Amino acid sequence: MKLEFGFGTGVQTVEVPEKNLMGVLMSNDVPRGLMNEEEVARALAEPIGSPRLREIVKPGEKIVVITSDITRPCPTWRIMPPLLDELYAAGCRPEDITLVFALGSHRRHTPEEMAHLAGERAYREIKCVDGDPNDCVHMGVTDCGTPVDITRVVAEADRRICLGNIEYHYFAGYSGGAKAIMPGVSTPAAIQCNHSMMVRDEACAGNLDTNPVRQDIEQATAMVGVDFIVNVVLDEHKQIVRAVAGDLVKAHREGCKFLDGMYLKRLDRRADIVIVSQGGAPKDLNLYQTQKALDNAKHAVKKGGTIILIGSCKEGLGSKVFEEWLLSAPTAHSMIERIGTQFQLGGHKAAAIAMVLENAEIYLVSDMDDALVERIFLKPAHSAQEAFDKAMARLGPDATVLAMPYGGSTLPRVE
């Protein structure tokens, strides 16, 4: 069977014998109802585990809305108009509402970026600010030792409302929910402590209940207190197909269930060979972005198997810190040891690649130089077919194969 995988603006093709092919993992069809702002308005009118927001907030209270920064796909500009309508219906005044961008460990925004993220109406009507890790209020320490130091404007507000989009997160289980607070408006020390647990087996995509990173995030956020959330699930075109609103945990979990309905792929066994891509441009511009597909593919491959990662990576590695970690590491395993004592944004993705290499070999089909690919502990291949042929030669004519053409979105789970 001829399979196609996005590669930059083109495709890579692979001929896979039908007897070897276990399946091609694509997103599931789900019923579609309201979209975008209309769906957000519906969710606000039908909160989960909570009264309506207009019944919670009071006139004169200082309200902060915490939302994602420019590195995340959360469409804040679509969420804010119905959210502002709900707050105004409670008698809240624009001057009492502040939109805070959760930077985590990322850089500050330009005014133009803030205006783009907030949307024209919110940027005009209310105050918009970046979180400030240098001006925080200490609110406690979690059982894992994570300091709960929170941006002052958030910590001192009367009401806190968290926004976000829900997608799979490779060590926090899912994005959204309490992540707006921790790490969103916390400090580098908190992020170091919390994210250093990413090396534990339970810290993986699709896991919440036994995930130490997520448990620590939610314990920290409980110390701060969140009154309401609005989270959204996006389709592959970044349109809102489901919104959930209400209780910090209960509404978030309902959103996660919906995401599973779209993107979770249940398997009865792992495959010897997994062929995966991000789906082409712009998601495979560099290895930093393409890594997301690799991390989902690891859940589908047998120990000792092969992952064939297809991504143009025409701009190279994609992050200076990521590059430094990969190029300075004496061994792949050394990056796993390093992340446990020195969490660094960018380095965490290098360590994630190293964690996959503990169990499988990785062929990279890309536009990068062979010597560079080999230097970062991967096997270069000039075509997906070449990589597949080499994997079959190593694993034998009966090797089983799974294809993931949109690996960044689909999450395999072996039952």
Tokens of 24: 């091609």
pLDDT at position 389: 98
Say whether both 96 and 111 belong to one domain: yes
Number of domains in the chain: 2
pLDDT at position 23: 96
Q: With contact defined as beta carbons under 8 Å apart, do 297 and 25 qualify?
A: no
Say whether both 19 and 52 belong to one domain: no
How do residues 238-273 score in pLDDT, each as one tens digit? Answer: 899 999 999 999 999 999 999 999 999 999 999 999
Which residue, 263, 282, 306, sits at the end of a domain?
263
Q: pTM score, two decimals?
A: 0.87
Which residue, 225, 241, 263, sits at the end of a domain?
263
| pLDDT greater at residue 319 or residue 176 | 176
pLDDT at position 412: 96
pLDDT at position 45: 98
Say whether both 112 and 52 belong to one domain: yes
pLDDT at position 283: 85
pLDDT at position 237: 80
Average pLDDT over residues 206-221: 96
Rounded percentage of the chain residues whose pLDDT exceeds 70:
100
Say whether both 196 and 341 belong to one domain: no
Say whether both 159 and 289 belong to one domain: no
Say whether both 251 and 107 belong to one domain: yes
The CA-atom distances, in angstroms, between 69 and each of 57, 74, 76, 251 are 25, 8, 9, 21
Average pLDDT over residues 47-62: 98
Its domain, for residue 220, covers 36-263
pLDDT at position 263: 93
CB under 8 Å to 341, separation ≥6 — which residues?
Answer: 196
pLDDT at position 415: 84
pLDDT at position 7: 95
Average pLDDT over residues 367-374: 98
Confidence check: pLDDT of 199 > 90:
no
pLDDT at position 346: 87
Q: Rounded to whole angstroms, how far apart are CA atoms 198 and 219?
A: 17
Confidence check: pLDDT of 70 > 90:
no
**What is the distance of C-alpha 361 from the center of its chain?**
24
Find the DSSP H helices in 110-242.
111-118, 120-125, 152-155, 188-195, 212-224
The whole-chain average pLDDT of the chain stands at: 95
Say whether both 99 and 212 belong to one domain: yes
Say whether both 167 and 254 belong to one domain: yes
Which residue, 211, 232, 263, sits at the end of a domain?
263
* φ/ψ of residue 268, rounded to 5: -95, -10
Say whether both 224 and 350 belong to one domain: no
pLDDT at position 107: 78
Confidence grade of residue 103 (pLDDT, cut at 50, 70, 90): confident
Confidence grade of residue 27 (pLDDT, cut at 50, 70, 90): confident
pLDDT at position 409: 85
Say whether both 342 and 361 belong to one domain: yes
DSSP reduced 3-state for 296: helix
* φ/ψ of residue 216, rounded to 5: -65, -40
Say whether both 40 and 18 belong to one domain: no
- Here the CATH number for the domain that contains residue 103 is 3.40.50.11440
- Here the CATH number for the domain that contains residue 390 is 3.90.226.30
Confidence check: pLDDT of 236 > 80:
no
How do residues 286-340 score in pLDDT, each as one tens digit? Answer: 999 899 999 999 999 999 999 999 999 999 998 899 999 999 999 999 999 999 8
Residue 400 has a CB neighbour count (10 Å cut-off) of 18
Q: With contact defined as beta carbons under 8 Å apart, do 241 and 30 qualify?
A: yes
Say whether both 218 and 74 belong to one domain: yes
